[in-house]
Every structure is written in structure tokens, then in C-alpha cells.
Amino acid sequence: MSLFPMFMKLDGRDSLVVGAGAIAEPKIRSLLEAGAHVKVVAPVINEAVAAWSRSGEIDCELRMFAPRDLKGMFLVVAATNRAEVNKAVFQEAQRRGVLCNAVDDPSRCDFYYPAVVHRGDLQIAISTGGQSPALAQRLRRELEYQFGPEYAGWVRELGKVREFLFEQNLDPEHRRRVLHELVKKLDLERAEHRTAQEAVHER
């Protein structure tokens, strides 16, 4: 099966998480960081989820999952430690056409959570199609070293230049060449920065 890689805007979209423990917590956090409107359904919740509920960051109902919970949802994450509950959530999501991720069950996932390197607006996502999250995490650590924190500033500056150039009455091909030359210059700065880091490390 071939996966379609994409970065999705979730700002304001209704998302459901079934479960509120150690498995669900990072999934809830990632949805909140993406700006999703998150509803959580679980009979028991941990302290982090309780804090989000008290602050109004999520809607939380202390009960078991019911099929009606999927009404109007864009996606759902089944993140309980009970396989039969996760299976029931997935089956109901399939029936309703709602995207579902059943944690640690690749056969019941319409999408996977990748391992991600964050450098400001730069995001590098790694997926093994659910086959080896451990390998994805190892590759993420390698890429975090290769693409250091300095990339956040570089990407921000490139974005400002790109916005400025698009405001000018420039030939599109000329604008494209200018932007690519800037990236080449960035490559040189990156190489110099890496050489300086390695020299410090060797001392």
C-alpha cells in the first residue's frame, strides 16, 4: 500500500480522541498544537488531560465511547489500552467516513503519526507506514543533528524575502532564480556553520 504524504491544516476542525491516559496524552497535545478543536471521551483521565479540560482547551466527557461521538468529526484517534474499544471506534469511523488512527494498530489506521523534526516553520516528517516507529524515531534523532535549531531563523528569513519578492512586479522566472540563489547561499552558510560546530566539538 502506497501512502500519500501531506501536511494537513487542522485549525478549528473538530477532532475526537477516545482515551485520556498515557497513550492518548501526546495525541491530544499534537492536535491542540495544530489548532484543532478537540473533544475527549474516556471514563478516566490523567492529570494533564484534566488540566486541559479545566482550562477549556478541550471538551471532555467522562464516560465510555458511543457512536454518536463521531457525529461531525473530521478525524478520530482511538487511544485506549483496550483493543476491543479501539476496534469499535475504527469500525464506526469507517461507517461514517471519518478518518481514524487506532494507536499501535496499523491495520486500523487511515493515517499515521510520523516522527517529526521541528525547526520553526520547517517540519521534516518520517514515516515507516506503521511498520517500525522505533526506526522512525532513530532517523528523527539523526535529522535533528543534521538540521540544527539555526534552521528556524533561516526559514523565517527566506519566507520574508519570498513575501517581499511576490509583492514586486517581477518576472516569475527571475523571481524563481533569485529564490533558488538564496537557498544556494543558505547551503554555504550551513556548511560553514557545521564546520565551526565540528571544530568546537573536537577541542
CB atoms within 10 A of CB 200: 8
pTM of the entire predicted model = 0.80
- Output the pLDDT for position 40: 98
- What pLDDT was estimated at residue 199? 61
Fold agreement (1-113, 114-146): no
What's the rounded Cα separation, in Å, for the pair 22 and 55?
Answer: 19
Neighbour count for residue 113 (Cβ, 10 Å): 17
Residues of the chain with pLDDT under 50: none
pLDDT of 203: 62
- Distance, C-alpha 98 to centroid of its chain: 18
Give the pLDDT of residue 164: 92
> What is the dotted CATH code of the domain comprising 114-146?
3.30.160
The predicted pLDDT at position 72 comes to 97
Residue-wise pLDDT for 155-201, tens only, equals: 999 999 999 999 988 899 999 999 999 888 877 777 766 666 666 55
State the pLDDT at residue 70: 98
Residue 169: what pLDDT?
A: 85
pLDDT recorded at residue 194: 65
Question: Domain ranges in the chain?
Answer: 1-113, 114-146, 150-202
CA 66 – CA 86 distance, rounded (Å): 12
Which residue do the cell numbers 516528517 mark?
125
> Architecture of domain 1-113 in CATH?
3-Layer(aba) Sandwich (3.40)
Question: Hey, is 64 helix, strand or coil?
Answer: coil
Nearest-angstrom CA–CA distance, 46 and 120: 29
